[in-house]
Amino acid sequence: AQRVTQPEKLLSVFKGAPVELKCNYSYSGSPELFWYVQYSRQRLQLLLRHISRESIKGFTADLNKGETSFHLKKPFAQEEDSAMYYCALNDRGGSQGNLIFGKGTKLSVKP
């Protein structure tokens, strides 16, 4: 079965430190992976998707099919990056737009 695993519930770093939020997936086909972010008291919003290969707010994520991972990275964390981050997989074989979410990782960036 398709699954998205985010092993860390909470990740705490200091401002300026590198940050890596881990995401592993299990899917037999060709997955489409996303990172969503939810800032405090705000709605869930798309941060980036692997097919775009773009950098948003300094974050990047590379799909590693060998390790079935899609870790989110930023070289220098900022306080405003503190939020809940969800990794998601688009199951193209299922119903249209079926997003399978991980449980999320709360990132706390300390001053």
Partner 1 sequence: GAVVSQHPSWVICKSGTSVKIECRSLDFQATTMFWYRQFPKQSLMLMATSNEGSKATYEQGVEKDKFLINHASLTLSTLTVTSAHPEDSSFYICSAARTEQETQYFGPGTRLLVL
Number of amino acids touching partner 1 (CB under 8 A):
19
Answer yes or no: are the C-beta atoms of 83 and 33 closer than 8 Å: no
CA distances from 78 to 17, 18, 36, 48, 111 (A): 8, 10, 17, 18, 8
28 vs 96, beta carbon nearer partner 1 = 96
* 43 near partner 1, rule: CB under 8 A: yes
Residues 44-103 that bind partner 1 (CB under 8 A): 44-46, 49, 86, 95-103
* 31 near partner 1, rule: CB under 8 A: no
**What distance in Å separates the CA atoms of residue 106 and residue 111, rounded to the nearest whole number?**
16
Q: Minimum Å distance from CB 101 to partner 1? A: 4
Residue 99 tokens read as 């997003």
Q: Which residues make up the interface to partner 1 (CB under 8 A)?
A: 4, 36, 42-46, 49, 86, 95-104
